[in-house]
Each structure stands twice: as structure tokens, then as C-alpha cells.
Structure 1
Amino acid sequence: MKRKICLLRGVNVGGKNKIKMKEFRELLESSGFRNVSTYIQSGNMVFDYQEEDCIRIATNIKKLILDKYSYDVSCLVIQPEKLEGILRSLPSKISEGRSSKKIYFMLLDDTPDSDRIKTLIEDFSYEPERFEILDDVVYYSIPDHISPGKLNTNLFENKLKITGTTRNQNTIEKLLEMV
């Protein structure tokens, strides 16, 4: 069994898609997942599982959630090594002068179309907020004095026509510690 990280999108946010993490851990453990740990209430987990294919694991977790809670939520399962690489690839122009709680990583379901990226970069100004897209990750940051910022998951999904889930740097680092 190898350690994996799971990121759910849109659970326990704004009173929607409520899932108690203790109950969810028990559901996963009864379904063959081992050493399940959760971090905060927004759908962050680490676990061991016999299956190696992250897409199949995500499909399995989505089905468990749909069967138990009747929620159809986005689920991303990722190897810790990939998440470490994403953290190491954080562009310095995104992190410079920003607090880790205002540095975000949006992990996309696929690599966005290059024309959509070009349009996003050329047609919109978000200063003093910053973003950069590398492969299937949008790195972005917001100054501490701005809340909320213009840059967010919904904006990137709408402009890039692709879905993803977002976590801040603190959460990414905590999940890697938990591995």
C-alpha cells in the first residue's frame, strides 16, 4: 500500500455538501482505505490504499460520497511526490512578499488550452494579484490586505473552461507533513 492524498472540492463550504470528517474517515476505512487522516473540514485526506491508479481511487471515493451523501463532488487523488513537485515549482514572482495563507495552488483536472491561457493573460489585469499557469496547475497569490481577491477558482474555471480544486500553501504543506 502506498500513501495518497485526496482533495475534495466544495464540501463543507458555505453550508453546502456537509460531510463530517470523522464519519467520512470511518466510511473510507470500512471500504478498504487504511491509516486515513483528515485535515480541517474542507475535504483534505491522506491514506493508504492497495490500488495504485489515482483516477480509479478518485472514482471510488466519488461513488462512496454519492452513495452515502447523495453529493456529486469533484475528487482529486494525487501522489505525494507530485504534490511536492508542485510546491517546489511555485514561481518566485507569485510568492514574493506574500504570506503562505494567501498563496494558492489550483490543481486542474487537465492541462488548459493554450489559447485560453493567452487570452486570460493578455485581456485581463489583476494587479496587485498575481498568477502563473504551469502545466495543470494555476499558481496565484493575493496581497494580505485584499480579501477576497479577484482571482479565485471560479474565475479560472470560467476563463479556462476547465475544473480544478484550490488549496493554499499552508494546507499543501500540512498535507505533505501528514504523509
Structure 2
Amino acid sequence: MIKVLLLRGVNVAGANRLPMPEFRALLEELGLARVETHLQSGNAVFDDPGVAGLEDKIATAMRQRFGFAPAQIYLDAATHAAIVAACPYKAEAAADPTSVHVWYLAKVAKPDQMLLKGLAKTERFNLTERALYLHAPDGIARSALVDRLERALGVPCTARNWRSVQAIAAMLDAAALG
């Protein structure tokens, strides 16, 4: 089954650095096939033949090889496609893809909507069972909402900008054809 793995807290440099060639090799050593990665932020698409205990195996292997084990979010290709299709800010993303982000949720969040709305200044957001979509026309660097979003949601999550979301979707499409 084609899946996507999104790691949280992986950095390009400094702490929690994850070289993608070594990460791909690790995933292949664990029995995954046709492993592809995008950027240096821990986005991987692969064919999972049904490796038992995959999340624990990846966490253990990463801790041993890289010295850290980031949070992991798995989606199958159909779920990712549904998340992309449900984005309410596609027009905004077409105009400025850096202004739209998707927070992939590890499980269903039941946040305090009033708190979230109170934190949003120029941002707009839409929460579903698997994702929170954010349109941030002024960027996310100084956003009070973004700064407190994971805590407010109360569930593990990881964010990707719209360009990365589209790149992951393209990788999944290519994997399905391959």
C-alpha cells in the first residue's frame, strides 16, 4: 500500500538534522519499497508491503542512527488526496502558495474554537478530522495562532506549506503509477 510519512521537528541544519539519502536507506532496510523523499524535512512516500510495527521500528532505528526519533504521522494515498481536495483556500494558494499551510493531525482534535478564533488576527482557518487548513496572508513567522496551534489543538500534528503538500501529492501519484 502506498503511504506518506510526515515527520515533525526535522531541521535542515543544527539539531534534528536528517540527511534524506540516509533516511531513505533506513526505510528501505526496514522493508519498505520505492522510497522517495521531498526536501530535507522528513517527507517520505513509499510502498508498505505490511511491515508489522512500522512506527516503532522507524522510531527505534532513527534513534539509533540519528540520535532522535521525531513524531510520525502516516497517511495512505487516498487520505492525503482527500485532504488536498478539501482545502478551502485553493484560490489563495494559487495566488500565493506560501500563504496556505496544512497541519496534518495525528488524530481528531477537539480544540477550544473560541481560543483559536481569538488567536487568529489576519489568518483564516478551517479544521477537519484529519487536517487544519490555514490561510495566513501576512505569513506565519509572527503569528500568535501558529505559535500556539498545536497546544490549542491538543493533538500531535505537523505542518506543510501548500507547495510541499502539492509535491507530496505528486509523489503519491507517481508512486501509484509506478
The verdict on a shared fold, with TM-score over 0.5 as the criterion, is: yes
Structure-to-structure mapping, 1:1-179, within 5 angstroms? 2-13=1-12, 15-51=14-50, 56-92=53-89, 95=92, 99-113=96-110, 116-122=111-117, 124-143=118-137, 145-146=138-139, 148-150=141-143, 151-152=145-146, 154-179=147-172
8 Å contact 2:116–2:149 — kept in the other structure?
Answer: no
Deviation at 1:12, TM superposition (A): 1.7
Q: 1:93 to 1:126 in 2, by over 3 A?
A: farther
Deviation at 1:67, TM superposition (A): 2.3
Matched residue count? 171
Q: Secondary structure, in 3 states, of the residue corresponding to 1:140?
A: strand
Give me the TM-score of the superposition, normalised by structure 1: 0.84
Deviation at 1:117, TM superposition (A): 3.0
8 Å contact 2:3–2:46 — kept in the other structure?
Answer: yes
Deviation at 1:57, TM superposition (A): 2.8
Give per-residue Cα distances to partners, 1:86-132, cap 9 Å, x unaligned: 0111124984785122211101121112xx3323245x152321111
Q: 1:96 to 1:70 in 2, by over 3 A?
A: closer
Further displaced range: 12-21 or 34-43: 12-21
Q: CA RMSD in A?
A: 2.3
Runs of 4+ in 1 over 6 A off after TM superposition: none
Q: 1:108 to 1:27 in 2, by over 3 A?
A: same
8 Å contact 1:11–1:42 — kept in the other structure?
Answer: yes
Q: 1:99 to 1:71 in 2, by over 3 A?
A: same
Q: 1: CA distance between counterparts of 2:25 and 2:154?
A: 35
- Provide the residue aligned with 2:176 in structure 1: none
Q: 2: CA distance between counterparts of 1:156 and 1:13?
A: 22
8 Å contact 1:94–1:103 — kept in the other structure?
Answer: no
8 Å contact 2:30–2:57 — kept in the other structure?
Answer: no
8 Å contact 1:105–1:167 — kept in the other structure?
Answer: yes
8 Å contact 2:99–2:139 — kept in the other structure?
Answer: no
Gaps of 5+ in 2: 173-178
Gaps of 5+ in 1: none
Q: 2: CA distance between counterparts of 1:82 and 1:102?
A: 23
Give per-residue Cα distances to partners, 1:31-89, cap 9 Å, x unaligned: 21111111100001111121178xx4333322221222221310111101101100111
